[in-house]
Amino acid sequence: MNDSDRRPTSILPRANIDDAVRPTRAEIDLSAIAANYQAVSRYVGVDVWGVVKADAYGHGAVEVGSTLVDAGAKGLCVALVEEGLELRSAGVSAEILVMSGVYRDGLDEAIDAKLTPVIFDRAQLEDLARVGRRGRTARVHLKIDTGMSRLGITLPEVESVCEILASMPHVRVDGLMTHFANADCDDASYTDVQIDRFAEAEAIARRCGLAPTVRHACNSAGAFRFSRARLEAVRTGIALYGVAPFPHDGPALMPAFSLRTAVLALREVPAGTPVGYAGNYRCASTTVLATIPIGYADGFFRRLSSEAEALVAGGRARVVGNVSMDMASIDVTQIAKSVGVAVGDEVVLLGSQRGRMGSGLIRAEEIAARVGTIPYEVLCAVSRRVPRRFVRDAHTRATST
């Protein structure tokens, strides 16, 4: 089996929007992502590398990666070799940094596909030595652990590791990087310590003969808050998808992800009627219930049971009863009285809608707060059985229901 046979066109198959029968779908506004990229670029004033790991936080790595490159991104960041191969198979030619996923023979695959692996552990030096013994060359970035305590060369190891790397003529250390642990926390003191440690590690690396041309330390929050740490490049993920990583700083951003479905069934029930598994919710009065074809198997958390709200005709309707694997119920009583509700009407669980009741917006931050998590998890949780529709300028179009 040759290398081209081994490279996946997709890590996992995603539902095809053209084959979808169920009305549930995610809608990705690529224009919003491009606009967010430009806003971040203007704000930070250095190169912005787009983080498209985890299928671009659920938005679609190939489509988002291509959009970012077209918008001017010089590089993309992934977690796994497989993610980089997916982009290469789709024709993405920009530099792709593999930040954490060089496992087993992954280094050879990364080099074959012209991916840039990150060296973060002394044990990887032997893998690099084998590359040289086979007459091959490698361009890498070196990661320093300045306080995340996850991946990276620790400060006491920096000198010895850099000396070994400098002795390898077939290895070119193009980049030096670290990762901030607390950039989105109110207290900036620990990030300041990490910035100073990174500067110390850089000085050691250069004394050893390494000459990285790009230094990068900032994630989205770090890029917005710590101007002295922007260096030659920043790595932004969540900001490109329209979520502010730190609400007190940064440019205005446009949400790019919406989760939409439609009313599957309607029924009016009397007061006291239990709704859903276990009957934990009972209607306080006569209620119009709408059943919608989405559930926790799609990434709409069960923890949202009787907690979340949805948009119907631009107005808010409460999710009631336990969210099932494939379905949920919403109370549309007031909307039905005001403007009417019919089977087939659009329902928005995440994103914006304009309709007969007005305009509404549900952000990932709101859902995250309701379930006690972070917006990253909300976006990544939407499963691949939910087809993605890629659009442009959705934020300027009215969705009328």
337 is catalytic: no
How far apart (Å, rounded) are the C-alpha atoms in residues 58 and 241?
A: 10
Tokens of 136: 């091959």
Count of CB atoms situated within 10 Å of the CB of 63: 18
57 contacts: CB under 8 Å, gap ≥ 6: 51, 237, 238, 241, 376, 379, 380
Q: Which of 103, 114, 277, 337 is catalytic?
A: 277
Which amino acid, one-letter code, is at 195? I
Beta-carbon contacts of 156 under 8 Å, excluding residues fewer than 6 positions away, are none
Do 264 and 21 touch, CB atoms closer than 8 A? no
Please state, in angstroms and as integers, the Cα–Cα distance from residue 177 to each residue in 62, 77, 117, 347, following that order: 25, 12, 12, 43
Q: Is 28 helix (H, G, I), strand (E, B) or coil?
A: strand
**53 catalytic residue (yes or no):** yes
Residues 351, 257 contacting (CB under 8 angstroms): yes
d(CA 25, CA 12): 17
Single out the residue of 154, 218, 162, 156 nearest to residue 191, CA to CA. 218
Structure tokens belonging to residue 78: 């992934």
Given 37, 53, 241, 376, the catalytic residue: 53
| H-state helical runs in 24-105 | 30-44, 53-57, 61-71, 81-89
Identify the burial level of 351 via C-beta atoms within 10 angstroms of its C-beta, where 0-12 means exposed, 13-18 middle and 19 or more buried.
Answer: buried
Q: Give CA separation, 321 vs 262, 269, 279, 296, 369, in Å.
A: 18, 14, 7, 13, 19
Non-local (6+) Cβ contacts of 134 within 8 A are none
Tell me, what amino acid is at 74?
Answer: K
As to burial, measured by CB atoms within 10 angstroms (0-12 exposed, 13-18 middle, 19+ buried), residue 344 is exposed
Q: Which residues are catalytic?
A: 53, 277
